[in-house]
């Protein structure tokens, strides 16, 4: 059972999410919060698997609430999925750097939302396609990173693994590409996250671009 905490300042929106999630046998809504401070409080008390977090809320916003949850060692197993009406660059980067595991727009199909909650709960990263394009475009528009920065911490094999993660491949796909077992692929990914102090795959993707390990083509 995947336990979900809802954090949105609109009661009607929370009710819609609850109805959608509770209709699934493997999902359970364990609490609701109308602001960021309450979301952090309930996350600490209820220990959900996933917090479905709105960005703009009164008082403590969703970005800062995400940062506090991600920074709390006692909540290391809690994943935050940002769900918002806004696909603005500032929200994307702030959410990912705060420790969010996924970012989905509120106009997503219900099936996409259910899939996102499941993916994030299992420790993978999920970014809406439009958000992924925004992320890549930012690095394309910026100055070229130092390629050596991405080679300083990881072994050659780990660099290859992280590059494939950054390109959106799953552990099974990485295993097939590199002719290794899915378990070995997962071990390499986990080891890379540990070395780089990345909370999850979303932060690993950001690190890959920022370090210069992977450089998108310039148009």
The 10s digit of each residue's pLDDT in 95-145 is 777 888 888 888 888 998 998 899 888 877 766 555 555 554 554 445 544
Quick one: average pLDDT of 64-77? 92
pLDDT at residue 216 greater than cutoff 70: no
Contact by Cβ (8 Å): 216, 136:
yes
The 10s digit of each residue's pLDDT in 179-193 is 999 888 888 888 888
* Mean pLDDT across the chain: 82
Report helix, strand or coil for 126.
strand
Quick one: average pLDDT of 191-207? 79
Nearest CA to 82 out of 108, 63, 109 is that of 63
Instruction: Provide the pLDDT for residue 219.
Output: 43
Contact by Cβ (8 Å): 58, 50:
no
**Pairwise CA distance, residues 151 & 159, whole Å:** 7
**Pairwise CA distance, residues 6 & 18, whole Å:** 8
pTM exceeds 0.85 = no
**Pairwise CA distance, residues 99 & 198, whole Å:** 9
Q: CA torsion 133→194→164→92, rounded to 10°? A: 0
Quick one: average pLDDT of 53-82? 91
* Contact partners, residue 12, CB within 8 Å, separation at least 6: none
- The residue that leads in pLDDT, 29 or 106, is 29
- pLDDT category at 23 given cuts 50, 70, 90 is very high
């Amino acid at each position: 059972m995947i336990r979900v905490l809802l954090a949105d300042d609109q009661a009607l929106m929370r009710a819609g999410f609850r109805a959608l999630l509770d209709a699934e046998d493997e999902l359970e809504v364990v609490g609701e919060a109308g602001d960021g401070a309450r979301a952090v409080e309930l996350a600490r008390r209820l220990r959900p698997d996933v917090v479905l977090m709105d960005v703009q809320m009164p008082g403590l916003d969703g970005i800062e609430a995400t940062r506090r949850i991600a920074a709390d060692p006692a909540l290391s197993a809690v994943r935050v999925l940002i769900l918002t009406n806004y696909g603005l660059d500032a929200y994307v980067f702030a959410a990912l750097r705060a420790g969010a595991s996924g970012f989905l727009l509120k106009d997503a199909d219900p099936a996409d939302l259910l899939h996102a909650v499941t993916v994030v709960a299992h420790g993978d990263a999920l970014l809406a396609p439009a958000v992924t394009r925004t992320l890549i475009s930012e690095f394309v528009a910026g100055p070229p990173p130092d390629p050596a920065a991405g080679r300083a911490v990881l072994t050659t094999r780990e660099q290859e693994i992280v590059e494939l993660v950054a390109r959106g491949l799953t552990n099974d796909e990485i295993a097939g590409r590199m002719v290794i077992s899915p378990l070995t692929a997962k071990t390499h990914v986990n080891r890379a996250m540990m070395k780089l102090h990345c909370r999850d795959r979303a932060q690993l993707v950001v690190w890959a671009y920022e370090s210069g390990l992977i450089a998108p083509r310039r148009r």
